[in-house]
Chain A
Protein backbone atom coordinates (compact mmCIF):
# COMPACT_ATOMS: atom_id res chain seq x y z
CA UNK A 1 0.00 0.00 0.00
CA UNK A 2 2.85 2.35 0.90
CA UNK A 3 4.53 1.69 -2.42
CA UNK A 4 1.28 2.34 -4.32
CA UNK A 5 0.84 5.68 -2.59
CA UNK A 6 4.47 6.56 -3.20
CA UNK A 7 4.25 5.89 -6.94
CA UNK A 8 0.85 7.60 -7.12
CA UNK A 9 2.29 10.73 -5.52
CA UNK A 10 5.25 10.68 -7.86
CA UNK A 11 2.98 10.45 -10.89
CA UNK A 12 0.77 13.26 -9.69
CA UNK A 13 3.78 15.43 -9.02
CA UNK A 14 5.22 14.94 -12.46
CA UNK A 15 1.85 15.82 -14.01
CA UNK A 16 1.87 19.09 -12.12
CA UNK A 17 5.58 19.72 -12.72
CA UNK A 18 4.87 19.96 -16.44
CA UNK A 19 2.25 22.21 -18.04
CA UNK A 20 0.18 19.17 -19.03
CA UNK A 21 -2.00 19.11 -15.89
CA UNK A 22 -2.77 22.84 -16.06
CA UNK A 23 -3.35 22.66 -19.78
CA UNK A 24 -5.86 19.83 -19.49
CA UNK A 25 -7.64 21.54 -16.60
CA UNK A 26 -7.89 24.77 -18.57
CA UNK A 27 -9.02 22.93 -21.69
CA UNK A 28 -11.73 21.07 -19.82
CA UNK A 29 -12.82 24.13 -17.86
CA UNK A 30 -13.16 26.19 -21.03
CA UNK A 31 -15.16 23.67 -22.99
CA UNK A 32 -17.34 22.72 -20.07
CA UNK A 33 -17.92 26.39 -19.30
CA UNK A 34 -19.02 26.96 -22.89
CA UNK A 35 -21.35 23.96 -22.57
CA UNK A 36 -22.98 25.24 -19.42
CA UNK A 37 -23.33 28.71 -20.88
CA UNK A 38 -25.29 27.54 -23.92
CA UNK A 39 -27.33 24.99 -21.97
CA UNK A 40 -28.36 27.54 -19.35
CA UNK A 41 -29.08 30.21 -21.97
CA UNK A 42 -31.42 27.86 -23.84
CA UNK A 43 -33.00 26.73 -20.60
CA UNK A 44 -33.75 30.30 -19.56
CA UNK A 45 -35.10 31.16 -23.01
CA UNK A 46 -37.45 28.20 -22.92
CA UNK A 47 -38.64 28.94 -19.44
CA UNK A 48 -39.39 32.57 -20.43
CA UNK A 49 -41.35 31.33 -23.40
CA UNK A 50 -43.24 28.90 -21.20
CA UNK A 51 -44.09 31.69 -18.79
CA UNK A 52 -45.33 34.04 -21.53
CA UNK A 53 -47.26 31.47 -23.50
CA UNK A 54 -48.31 29.49 -20.48
CA UNK A 55 -48.50 25.69 -20.28
CA UNK A 56 -45.83 23.51 -21.82
CA UNK A 57 -44.04 20.74 -19.99
CA UNK A 58 -42.53 21.52 -16.57
CA UNK A 59 -38.89 22.56 -16.67
CA UNK A 60 -36.25 20.61 -14.77
CA UNK A 61 -32.65 21.74 -14.28
CA UNK A 62 -31.46 18.18 -13.62
CA UNK A 63 -32.90 16.74 -16.79
CA UNK A 64 -32.36 19.67 -19.07
CA UNK A 65 -29.05 21.10 -17.98
CA UNK A 66 -27.03 18.89 -15.68
CA UNK A 67 -27.73 15.52 -17.30
CA UNK A 68 -26.82 16.50 -20.88
CA UNK A 69 -23.94 18.58 -19.62
CA UNK A 70 -22.30 15.71 -17.77
CA UNK A 71 -22.87 13.49 -20.81
CA UNK A 72 -21.00 16.15 -22.73
CA UNK A 73 -18.30 15.89 -20.04
CA UNK A 74 -18.05 12.17 -20.65
CA UNK A 75 -17.41 12.87 -24.35
CA UNK A 76 -14.68 15.38 -23.52
CA UNK A 77 -13.14 12.70 -21.31
CA UNK A 78 -12.46 10.64 -24.43
CA UNK A 79 -10.17 13.39 -25.63
CA UNK A 80 -8.47 13.92 -22.28
CA UNK A 81 -7.62 10.32 -21.49
CA UNK A 82 -4.93 9.79 -24.16
CA UNK A 83 -3.14 12.91 -23.02
CA UNK A 84 -3.16 11.70 -19.43
CA UNK A 85 -2.11 8.11 -20.03
CA UNK A 86 0.31 8.32 -22.93
CA UNK A 87 3.30 9.08 -20.75
CA UNK A 88 2.62 6.58 -17.95
CA UNK A 89 4.93 3.83 -19.15
CA UNK A 90 6.16 5.11 -22.51
CA UNK A 91 8.11 7.93 -20.88
CA UNK A 92 9.71 5.67 -18.27
CA UNK A 93 10.71 3.25 -20.98
CA UNK A 94 12.21 6.02 -23.07
CA UNK A 95 14.25 7.65 -20.30
CA UNK A 96 15.23 4.34 -18.72
CA UNK A 97 13.65 5.08 -15.35
CA UNK A 98 11.61 1.92 -15.80
CA UNK A 99 14.83 0.12 -14.81
CA UNK A 100 14.69 1.82 -11.43
CA UNK A 101 11.08 0.78 -10.84
CA UNK A 102 11.54 -2.78 -12.02
CA UNK A 103 14.70 -3.35 -9.98
CA UNK A 104 13.19 -1.96 -6.79
CA UNK A 105 11.48 -4.22 -4.24
CA UNK A 106 7.96 -3.47 -5.46
CA UNK A 107 5.61 -5.71 -7.41
CA UNK A 108 4.26 -5.02 -10.89
CA UNK A 109 0.79 -4.57 -9.44
CA UNK A 110 1.99 -1.88 -7.06
CA UNK A 111 3.50 0.02 -9.97
CA UNK A 112 0.40 -0.38 -12.14
CA UNK A 113 -2.04 0.61 -9.41
CA UNK A 114 0.14 3.52 -8.31
CA UNK A 115 0.22 4.89 -11.82
CA UNK A 116 -3.48 4.29 -12.33
CA UNK A 117 -4.40 6.09 -9.10
CA UNK A 118 -2.12 8.95 -10.11
CA UNK A 119 -3.93 9.28 -13.43
CA UNK A 120 -7.29 9.04 -11.65
CA UNK A 121 -6.38 11.81 -9.24
CA UNK A 122 -5.38 14.06 -12.10
CA UNK A 123 -8.71 13.32 -13.75
CA UNK A 124 -10.49 14.22 -10.52
CA UNK A 125 -8.62 17.52 -10.48
CA UNK A 126 -9.79 18.16 -14.02
CA UNK A 127 -13.33 17.21 -13.09
CA UNK A 128 -13.16 19.71 -10.25
CA UNK A 129 -13.26 22.45 -12.89
CA UNK A 130 -16.85 21.44 -13.73
CA UNK A 131 -17.90 21.40 -10.09
CA UNK A 132 -17.53 25.18 -10.02
CA UNK A 133 -20.08 25.49 -12.83
CA UNK A 134 -22.50 23.00 -11.33
CA UNK A 135 -22.19 24.79 -7.97
CA UNK A 136 -23.45 27.98 -9.67
CA UNK A 137 -26.60 26.13 -10.71
CA UNK A 138 -27.10 25.12 -7.10
CA UNK A 139 -26.61 28.70 -5.97
CA UNK A 140 -29.40 30.06 -8.17
CA UNK A 141 -31.62 27.06 -8.68
CA UNK A 142 -32.88 24.07 -6.76
CA UNK A 143 -31.68 20.95 -8.59
CA UNK A 144 -31.61 17.55 -6.85
CA UNK A 145 -28.17 16.66 -5.57
CA UNK A 146 -28.57 12.88 -5.86
CA UNK A 147 -28.65 12.51 -9.66
CA UNK A 148 -25.70 14.88 -9.90
CA UNK A 149 -23.66 12.70 -7.58
CA UNK A 150 -24.65 9.58 -9.53
CA UNK A 151 -23.60 11.22 -12.79
CA UNK A 152 -20.24 12.18 -11.29
CA UNK A 153 -19.76 8.63 -10.07
CA UNK A 154 -20.48 7.49 -13.62
CA UNK A 155 -17.93 9.92 -15.02
CA UNK A 156 -15.30 8.69 -12.58
CA UNK A 157 -15.97 5.03 -13.31
CA UNK A 158 -15.94 5.62 -17.03
CA UNK A 159 -12.67 7.52 -16.81
CA UNK A 160 -11.23 4.74 -14.65
CA UNK A 161 -11.97 2.32 -17.47
CA UNK A 162 -10.48 4.46 -20.19
CA UNK A 163 -7.42 5.35 -18.09
CA UNK A 164 -6.77 1.66 -17.43
CA UNK A 165 -7.01 0.93 -21.16
CA UNK A 166 -4.69 3.87 -21.87
CA UNK A 167 -2.23 2.61 -19.27
CA UNK A 168 -2.18 -0.76 -20.98
CA UNK A 169 -1.49 0.82 -24.36
CA UNK A 170 1.30 2.89 -22.83
CA UNK A 171 3.15 -0.29 -21.81
CA UNK A 172 3.31 -1.39 -25.44
CA UNK A 173 5.60 1.30 -26.76
CA UNK A 174 8.36 3.67 -25.77
CA UNK A 175 6.96 6.37 -28.00
CA UNK A 176 4.51 8.66 -26.23
CA UNK A 177 2.94 9.90 -29.44
CA UNK A 178 2.14 6.38 -30.57
CA UNK A 179 0.76 5.51 -27.13
CA UNK A 180 -1.41 8.63 -27.16
CA UNK A 181 -2.52 8.16 -30.76
CA UNK A 182 -3.54 4.54 -30.31
CA UNK A 183 -5.35 5.31 -27.07
CA UNK A 184 -7.22 8.12 -28.77
CA UNK A 185 -8.18 5.79 -31.59
CA UNK A 186 -9.44 3.14 -29.16
CA UNK A 187 -11.43 5.74 -27.22
CA UNK A 188 -12.94 6.98 -30.45
CA UNK A 189 -13.80 3.44 -31.46
CA UNK A 190 -15.58 2.83 -28.16
CA UNK A 191 -17.54 6.00 -28.80
CA UNK A 192 -18.42 4.99 -32.36
CA UNK A 193 -19.59 1.54 -31.24
CA UNK A 194 -22.46 3.35 -29.59
CA UNK A 195 -23.42 5.14 -32.83
CA UNK A 196 -23.13 2.08 -34.97
CA UNK A 197 -25.62 0.15 -32.93
CA UNK A 198 -28.26 2.81 -32.52
CA UNK A 199 -30.17 1.87 -35.68
CA UNK A 200 -30.18 -1.88 -35.36
CA UNK A 201 -31.30 -4.61 -33.00
CA UNK A 202 -29.92 -8.12 -32.89
CA UNK A 203 -27.69 -10.34 -30.77
CA UNK A 204 -24.43 -9.07 -32.17
CA UNK A 205 -25.59 -5.50 -31.96
CA UNK A 206 -26.57 -5.81 -28.35
CA UNK A 207 -23.21 -7.41 -27.52
CA UNK A 208 -21.37 -4.58 -29.22
CA UNK A 209 -23.64 -2.10 -27.56
CA UNK A 210 -22.92 -3.66 -24.20
CA UNK A 211 -19.19 -3.31 -24.78
CA UNK A 212 -19.46 0.36 -25.61
CA UNK A 213 -18.23 2.26 -22.62
CA UNK A 214 -20.42 5.24 -23.46
CA UNK A 215 -23.65 3.21 -23.43
CA UNK A 216 -23.22 2.41 -19.78
CA UNK A 217 -22.93 6.06 -18.96
CA UNK A 218 -26.47 6.82 -20.20
CA UNK A 219 -28.12 5.54 -17.04
CA UNK A 220 -25.71 7.44 -14.84
CA UNK A 221 -26.41 10.68 -16.68
CA UNK A 222 -30.14 10.21 -16.00
CA UNK A 223 -29.35 9.77 -12.34
CA UNK A 224 -29.98 6.03 -12.35
CA UNK A 225 -27.53 3.93 -10.41
CA UNK A 226 -27.77 0.45 -11.92
CA UNK A 227 -25.72 -2.42 -10.56
CA UNK A 228 -25.03 -3.85 -14.00
CA UNK A 229 -23.34 -0.63 -15.13
CA UNK A 230 -21.23 -0.38 -12.01
CA UNK A 231 -20.24 -4.03 -12.37
CA UNK A 232 -19.43 -3.48 -16.02
CA UNK A 233 -17.12 -0.57 -15.26
CA UNK A 234 -15.42 -2.24 -12.32
CA UNK A 235 -14.81 -5.45 -14.24
CA UNK A 236 -13.52 -3.49 -17.25
CA UNK A 237 -11.09 -1.61 -14.98
CA UNK A 238 -9.88 -4.84 -13.45
CA UNK A 239 -9.57 -6.50 -16.85
CA UNK A 240 -7.58 -3.64 -18.36
CA UNK A 241 -5.24 -3.46 -15.38
CA UNK A 242 -4.79 -7.22 -15.50
CA UNK A 243 -3.86 -7.04 -19.17
CA UNK A 244 -1.42 -4.28 -18.24
CA UNK A 245 0.24 -6.57 -15.73
CA UNK A 246 0.51 -9.32 -18.34
CA UNK A 247 2.00 -6.84 -20.77
CA UNK A 248 4.63 -5.81 -18.22
CA UNK A 249 5.49 -9.43 -17.61
CA UNK A 250 5.90 -10.10 -21.32
CA UNK A 251 7.97 -6.95 -21.59
CA UNK A 252 10.59 -8.61 -19.41
CA UNK A 253 10.62 -11.78 -21.42
CA UNK A 254 10.66 -10.12 -24.79
CA UNK A 255 12.90 -7.11 -24.43
Chain B
Protein backbone atom coordinates (compact mmCIF):
# COMPACT_ATOMS: atom_id res chain seq x y z
CA UNK B 1 0.00 0.00 0.00
CA UNK B 2 2.80 2.36 0.93
CA UNK B 3 6.22 1.98 -0.55
CA UNK B 4 9.21 4.11 0.28
CA UNK B 5 12.53 3.57 -1.43
CA UNK B 6 15.77 5.34 -0.64
CA UNK B 7 13.92 8.41 0.56
CA UNK B 8 16.14 11.35 1.41
CA UNK B 9 15.03 14.82 2.35
CA UNK B 10 17.53 17.61 2.72
CA UNK B 11 16.83 21.05 4.05
CA UNK B 12 19.13 23.97 3.50
CA UNK B 13 21.67 22.88 6.09
CA UNK B 14 20.48 19.60 7.49
CA UNK B 15 19.52 16.16 6.28
CA UNK B 16 16.17 15.42 7.88
CA UNK B 17 15.64 11.98 6.40
CA UNK B 18 18.54 9.91 5.17
CA UNK B 19 17.98 7.05 2.73
CA UNK B 20 14.95 5.39 4.31
CA UNK B 21 13.19 2.43 2.73
CA UNK B 22 10.17 0.55 4.00
CA UNK B 23 6.88 -0.93 2.91
CA UNK B 24 3.51 -1.09 4.57
CA UNK B 25 0.94 -3.73 3.66
CA UNK B 26 -2.74 -3.01 3.24
CA UNK B 27 -4.69 -2.92 6.50
CA UNK B 28 -1.69 -2.72 8.80
CA UNK B 29 -1.19 -0.29 11.65
CA UNK B 30 2.39 0.84 11.69
CA UNK B 31 4.01 2.86 14.43
CA UNK B 32 6.55 5.40 13.41
CA UNK B 33 8.84 5.72 16.35
CA UNK B 34 11.70 8.03 17.10
CA UNK B 35 12.85 10.79 19.40
CA UNK B 36 11.81 14.34 18.63
CA UNK B 37 13.51 15.62 15.52
CA UNK B 38 14.21 12.18 14.12
CA UNK B 39 12.51 12.87 10.80
CA UNK B 40 9.08 11.37 11.45
CA UNK B 41 7.10 14.42 10.45
CA UNK B 42 9.24 15.00 7.37
CA UNK B 43 8.68 11.44 6.15
CA UNK B 44 4.95 11.85 6.68
CA UNK B 45 4.93 15.14 4.84
CA UNK B 46 6.60 13.51 1.88
CA UNK B 47 4.00 10.73 1.89
CA UNK B 48 1.18 13.27 1.93
CA UNK B 49 2.70 15.23 -0.98
CA UNK B 50 3.22 18.25 1.24
CA UNK B 51 6.96 18.15 0.63
CA UNK B 52 8.74 16.69 -2.37
CA UNK B 53 11.55 14.21 -1.64
CA UNK B 54 15.11 15.30 -2.41
CA UNK B 55 15.98 11.81 -3.52
CA UNK B 56 14.32 8.43 -3.76
CA UNK B 57 10.73 7.42 -4.33
CA UNK B 58 7.57 7.19 -2.32
CA UNK B 59 4.28 5.82 -3.55
CA UNK B 60 0.84 5.31 -2.06
CA UNK B 61 -1.49 2.71 -3.56
CA UNK B 62 0.79 2.51 -6.57
CA UNK B 63 0.76 6.26 -7.27
CA UNK B 64 4.02 8.17 -7.04
CA UNK B 65 3.91 11.25 -4.80
CA UNK B 66 5.72 13.37 -7.38
CA UNK B 67 4.10 12.07 -10.56
CA UNK B 68 0.45 11.81 -9.49
CA UNK B 69 0.01 13.85 -6.33
CA UNK B 70 -3.74 14.36 -6.85
CA UNK B 71 -4.36 10.60 -6.97
CA UNK B 72 -2.26 10.12 -3.84
CA UNK B 73 -4.02 12.94 -1.99
CA UNK B 74 -7.43 11.46 -2.80
CA UNK B 75 -6.47 8.29 -0.97
CA UNK B 76 -4.86 9.86 2.08
CA UNK B 77 -6.23 11.23 5.31
CA UNK B 78 -3.71 13.28 7.22
CA UNK B 79 -3.67 14.62 10.73
CA UNK B 80 -0.65 16.91 11.12
CA UNK B 81 1.05 17.52 14.43
CA UNK B 82 -1.14 20.53 15.13
CA UNK B 83 -4.63 19.87 13.78
CA UNK B 84 -5.33 22.14 10.78
CA UNK B 85 -8.45 23.85 12.11
CA UNK B 86 -10.12 27.14 11.24
CA UNK B 87 -11.03 28.71 14.60
CA UNK B 88 -13.78 30.87 13.07
CA UNK B 89 -15.73 27.86 11.79
CA UNK B 90 -18.25 25.69 13.55
CA UNK B 91 -17.41 21.99 13.84
CA UNK B 92 -20.07 20.82 11.36
CA UNK B 93 -19.24 23.63 8.97
CA UNK B 94 -15.56 22.74 9.10
CA UNK B 95 -16.09 19.03 8.52
CA UNK B 96 -18.43 19.89 5.66
CA UNK B 97 -15.74 22.08 4.12
CA UNK B 98 -13.07 19.40 4.45
CA UNK B 99 -15.37 16.72 3.03
CA UNK B 100 -16.07 18.82 -0.04
CA UNK B 101 -12.42 19.76 -0.34
CA UNK B 102 -11.62 16.06 -0.48
CA UNK B 103 -14.10 15.75 -3.32
CA UNK B 104 -16.99 13.98 -1.60
CA UNK B 105 -20.44 14.30 -3.18
CA UNK B 106 -22.71 16.26 -0.85
CA UNK B 107 -25.37 13.58 -0.39
CA UNK B 108 -22.84 11.04 0.77
CA UNK B 109 -21.18 13.68 2.91
CA UNK B 110 -24.31 14.52 4.91
CA UNK B 111 -24.62 10.86 5.80
CA UNK B 112 -20.98 10.46 6.62
CA UNK B 113 -20.87 13.55 8.84
CA UNK B 114 -23.22 12.08 11.42
CA UNK B 115 -21.34 8.82 11.54
CA UNK B 116 -17.95 10.50 11.89
CA UNK B 117 -19.11 12.85 14.64
CA UNK B 118 -20.53 9.93 16.57
CA UNK B 119 -17.37 7.87 16.15
CA UNK B 120 -15.06 10.69 17.19
CA UNK B 121 -17.39 11.71 20.05
CA UNK B 122 -17.74 15.30 18.89
CA UNK B 123 -21.48 15.31 18.18
CA UNK B 124 -22.15 17.34 21.34
CA UNK B 125 -20.01 20.25 20.13
CA UNK B 126 -21.21 20.21 16.53
CA UNK B 127 -22.40 23.80 16.55
CA UNK B 128 -19.61 25.27 18.60
CA UNK B 129 -16.88 27.43 17.16
CA UNK B 130 -13.66 25.46 16.83
CA UNK B 131 -11.75 28.34 18.43
CA UNK B 132 -13.70 27.79 21.63
CA UNK B 133 -13.03 24.06 21.90
CA UNK B 134 -10.65 22.44 24.38
CA UNK B 135 -7.47 20.77 23.20
CA UNK B 136 -8.95 17.30 23.45
CA UNK B 137 -11.94 18.20 21.31
CA UNK B 138 -9.74 19.94 18.77
CA UNK B 139 -7.58 16.86 18.44
CA UNK B 140 -10.68 14.74 17.84
CA UNK B 141 -12.05 17.18 15.28
CA UNK B 142 -8.63 16.89 13.63
CA UNK B 143 -8.97 13.13 13.58
CA UNK B 144 -12.51 13.38 12.20
CA UNK B 145 -11.17 15.63 9.46
CA UNK B 146 -8.60 12.98 8.51
CA UNK B 147 -11.08 10.12 8.18
CA UNK B 148 -14.08 11.96 6.77
CA UNK B 149 -13.61 10.84 3.17
CA UNK B 150 -12.91 7.25 4.23
CA UNK B 151 -9.35 7.20 2.86
CA UNK B 152 -7.38 4.04 2.17
CA UNK B 153 -4.38 5.37 4.03
CA UNK B 154 -4.38 7.31 7.26
CA UNK B 155 -1.34 9.25 8.31
CA UNK B 156 -1.49 10.49 11.88
CA UNK B 157 1.25 12.63 13.34
CA UNK B 158 1.19 12.18 17.11
CA UNK B 159 -2.56 11.62 17.31
CA UNK B 160 -2.72 11.44 21.10
CA UNK B 161 -0.58 14.41 22.01
CA UNK B 162 -2.29 16.82 24.36
CA UNK B 163 -5.07 14.46 25.37
CA UNK B 164 -5.90 13.37 28.90
CA UNK B 165 -5.47 9.68 29.82
CA UNK B 166 -9.11 8.78 29.23
CA UNK B 167 -9.12 10.45 25.85
CA UNK B 168 -5.86 8.73 24.95
CA UNK B 169 -7.45 5.35 25.59
CA UNK B 170 -10.51 6.31 23.56
CA UNK B 171 -8.42 7.60 20.68
CA UNK B 172 -6.32 4.45 20.65
CA UNK B 173 -9.46 2.38 20.51
CA UNK B 174 -10.79 4.51 17.70
CA UNK B 175 -7.56 4.05 15.76
CA UNK B 176 -7.59 0.32 16.31
CA UNK B 177 -11.19 0.12 15.15
CA UNK B 178 -10.18 1.84 11.93
CA UNK B 179 -7.58 -0.81 11.10
CA UNK B 180 -8.56 -3.42 8.60
CA UNK B 181 -10.11 -1.28 5.91
CA UNK B 182 -7.57 1.49 6.47
CA UNK B 183 -3.82 1.31 6.36
CA UNK B 184 -2.54 3.47 9.19
CA UNK B 185 0.80 5.06 9.90
CA UNK B 186 0.99 6.86 13.20
CA UNK B 187 4.01 8.59 14.59
CA UNK B 188 4.82 8.94 18.22
CA UNK B 189 7.67 9.30 20.61
CA UNK B 190 5.73 7.49 23.31
CA UNK B 191 6.55 3.83 23.24
CA UNK B 192 3.59 2.46 25.12
CA UNK B 193 1.47 3.88 22.36
CA UNK B 194 3.12 1.61 19.84
CA UNK B 195 2.82 -1.38 22.14
CA UNK B 196 -0.89 -0.69 22.44
CA UNK B 197 -2.02 0.11 18.95
CA UNK B 198 0.49 -1.06 16.37
CA UNK B 199 1.33 -4.30 14.66
CA UNK B 200 4.60 -3.14 13.26
CA UNK B 201 7.17 -0.59 14.29
CA UNK B 202 9.48 1.48 12.19
CA UNK B 203 12.13 3.06 14.36
CA UNK B 204 14.07 6.01 13.07
CA UNK B 205 16.69 8.09 14.74
CA UNK B 206 18.48 11.13 13.34
CA UNK B 207 16.91 10.56 9.96
CA UNK B 208 18.10 6.98 9.64
CA UNK B 209 16.12 3.77 9.76
CA UNK B 210 17.16 1.86 12.87
CA UNK B 211 14.80 -1.09 12.84
CA UNK B 212 11.60 -2.25 11.27
CA UNK B 213 9.88 -5.26 12.70
CA UNK B 214 6.69 -6.47 14.30
CA UNK B 215 6.11 -5.38 17.88
CA UNK B 216 6.09 -9.01 19.04
CA UNK B 217 9.43 -9.72 17.37
CA UNK B 218 11.07 -6.68 18.82
CA UNK B 219 10.04 -7.53 22.36
CA UNK B 220 11.06 -11.14 21.79
CA UNK B 221 14.42 -10.01 20.66
CA UNK B 222 15.31 -9.10 24.20
CA UNK B 223 13.03 -11.46 26.04
CA UNK B 224 15.88 -13.92 26.56
CA UNK B 225 17.94 -11.33 28.37
CA UNK B 226 17.14 -9.89 31.73
CA UNK B 227 17.69 -6.60 33.45
CA UNK B 228 18.64 -6.45 37.12
CA UNK B 229 18.54 -3.51 39.47
CA UNK B 230 21.44 -3.62 41.93
CA UNK B 231 21.70 -1.31 44.88
CA UNK B 232 24.45 -1.19 47.46
CA UNK B 233 25.29 0.85 50.51
CA UNK B 234 28.20 3.17 50.12
CA UNK B 235 28.63 5.07 53.32
CA UNK B 236 31.34 7.74 53.25
CA UNK B 237 31.97 7.46 49.53
CA UNK B 238 33.23 3.87 49.75
CA UNK B 239 33.21 1.94 47.48
CA UNK B 240 33.56 4.44 44.68
CA UNK B 241 31.07 4.16 41.79
CA UNK B 242 33.61 3.67 39.02
CA UNK B 243 35.14 0.71 40.73
CA UNK B 244 31.77 -0.96 41.32
CA UNK B 245 30.73 -0.43 37.74
CA UNK B 246 33.95 -1.94 36.50
CA UNK B 247 33.54 -5.01 38.69
CA UNK B 248 29.94 -5.52 37.62
CA UNK B 249 30.88 -5.27 33.97
CA UNK B 250 33.41 -8.05 34.45
CA UNK B 251 30.74 -10.52 35.61
CA UNK B 252 30.24 -13.21 32.96
CA UNK B 253 27.13 -12.65 30.82
CA UNK B 254 26.70 -8.96 31.51
CA UNK B 255 26.14 -6.79 28.45
CA UNK B 256 25.66 -3.38 29.93
CA UNK B 257 25.85 -1.57 33.27
CA UNK B 258 24.17 1.77 33.76
CA UNK B 259 24.54 3.84 36.88
CA UNK B 260 21.16 5.11 38.01
CA UNK B 261 21.76 6.91 41.25
CA UNK B 262 24.52 7.72 43.73
CA UNK B 263 22.99 9.71 46.55
CA UNK B 264 22.64 9.41 50.30
CA UNK B 265 25.27 6.73 50.56
CA UNK B 266 23.58 4.50 48.06
CA UNK B 267 24.70 3.30 44.67
CA UNK B 268 22.08 2.06 42.24
CA UNK B 269 22.89 0.33 38.97
CA UNK B 270 20.92 -1.33 36.25
CA UNK B 271 22.62 -4.35 34.76
CA UNK B 272 21.51 -6.06 31.54
CA UNK B 273 22.43 -9.56 30.61
CA UNK B 274 23.27 -11.13 27.27
CA UNK B 275 20.71 -13.34 25.56
CA UNK B 276 19.69 -16.35 27.66
CA UNK B 277 22.04 -15.73 30.59
CA UNK B 278 21.05 -15.62 34.23
CA UNK B 279 23.29 -13.30 36.10
CA UNK B 280 21.59 -12.57 39.37
CA UNK B 281 23.44 -15.09 41.52
CA UNK B 282 26.76 -14.15 39.92
CA UNK B 283 26.12 -10.50 40.59
CA UNK B 284 25.26 -11.16 44.22
CA UNK B 285 28.41 -13.23 44.69
CA UNK B 286 30.61 -10.56 43.13
CA UNK B 287 29.24 -7.82 45.35
CA UNK B 288 29.47 -9.88 48.53
CA UNK B 289 32.96 -11.20 47.72
CA UNK B 290 34.18 -7.65 47.28
CA UNK B 291 33.03 -6.93 50.79
CA UNK B 292 30.32 -4.45 49.82
CA UNK B 293 26.89 -4.28 51.41
CA UNK B 294 24.22 -5.43 49.00
CA UNK B 295 20.91 -3.76 49.86
CA UNK B 296 18.77 -4.66 46.89
CA UNK B 297 18.78 -7.03 43.95
CA UNK B 298 15.72 -7.41 41.79
CA UNK B 299 14.93 -8.14 38.17
CA UNK B 300 13.35 -5.50 35.98
CA UNK B 301 11.19 -6.21 32.97
CA UNK B 302 12.63 -4.91 29.72
CA UNK B 303 10.14 -2.69 27.96
CA UNK B 304 10.04 -1.44 24.44
CA UNK B 305 11.60 1.66 25.90
CA UNK B 306 14.81 -0.21 26.66
CA UNK B 307 14.81 -1.86 23.29
CA UNK B 308 14.47 1.49 21.69
CA UNK B 309 17.29 2.97 23.72
CA UNK B 310 19.48 -0.03 23.01
CA UNK B 311 18.81 0.15 19.31
CA UNK B 312 19.46 3.85 19.02
CA UNK B 313 22.47 3.63 21.33
CA UNK B 314 24.05 0.76 19.42
CA UNK B 315 23.50 2.69 16.23
CA UNK B 316 25.46 5.61 17.64
CA UNK B 317 28.19 3.30 18.89
CA UNK B 318 28.61 1.70 15.49
CA UNK B 319 28.75 5.08 13.95
CA UNK B 320 31.48 6.20 16.31
CA UNK B 321 33.44 3.03 15.62
CA UNK B 322 33.28 3.49 11.90
CA UNK B 323 34.31 7.09 12.35
CA UNK B 324 37.32 5.99 14.39
CA UNK B 325 38.24 3.38 11.78
CA UNK B 326 37.83 6.00 9.10
CA UNK B 327 40.09 8.39 10.96
CA UNK B 328 42.76 5.72 11.44
CA UNK B 329 42.82 4.63 7.83
Q: Give chain A's interface residues, CB within 8 Å of chain B.
A: 2-3, 6-7, 10, 13-14, 17-18, 95-107, 252-255
How many chain B residues have a CB neighbour from A under 8 Å?
30
Partner of B88, one of A14, A98, A100: A14
**22 contacting pairs across A/B (C-beta < 8 A):** A3-B101, A14-B86, A17-B88, A17-B89, A95-B82, A95-B85, A95-B86, A96-B81, A96-B82, A96-B84, A97-B85, A99-B84, A100-B84, A102-B50, A103-B73, A104-B101, A105-B70, A105-B74, A105-B103, A106-B101, A107-B70, A252-B50
Query: Which B residue sits closest to A16, measured CB to CB?
Result: B88
**In the complex, which of the residues A96, A98, A105 has the most CB atoms of chain B within 10 Å of its own CB atom?**
A105
Q: Is B22 an interface residue (CB 8 A)?
A: no
Closest to B86 in A: A97
| Interface of B: prevailing SS | loop
Q: Is the CB of B78 within 8 A of A6?
A: no
Given contacts A6-B97, A103-B76, 20 further A-B contacts (CB under 8 A): A6-B101, A10-B86, A10-B97, A13-B88, A14-B86, A14-B88, A14-B89, A18-B88, A96-B80, A96-B81, A96-B83, A97-B84, A100-B80, A100-B84, A100-B101, A103-B49, A103-B50, A104-B101, A105-B71, A252-B50
B172 at the interface (CB under 8 A from A): no
Is B52 part of the binding interface, using a Cβ–Cβ cutoff of 8 Å?
A: yes
Query: With a CB–CB cut-off of 8 A, which chain A residues contact B50?
Result: 99, 102-103, 252
State whether B51 touches A95 (Cβ < 8 A): no
Q: Which of B71, B78, B83, B87 contacts A103 (CB 8 A)?
A: B78
Chain B residues proximal to chain A, CB less than 8 Å: 12, 45, 48-52, 70-71, 73-74, 76, 78, 80-89, 97-98, 100-103, 145
The chain B residue sitting closest to A97, CB to CB, is: B84
Cross-chain contact B145 with A104 (CB below 8 angstroms): no
Cα-based distance from A97 to B87 in the complex (angstroms):
10
Question: CB distance B74 to A252 under 8 Å?
Answer: no
Q: Taking the nearest CB of chain A, how far is it from the CB of B325, in angstroms?
A: 37
Partner of A95, one of B48, B84, B103: B84
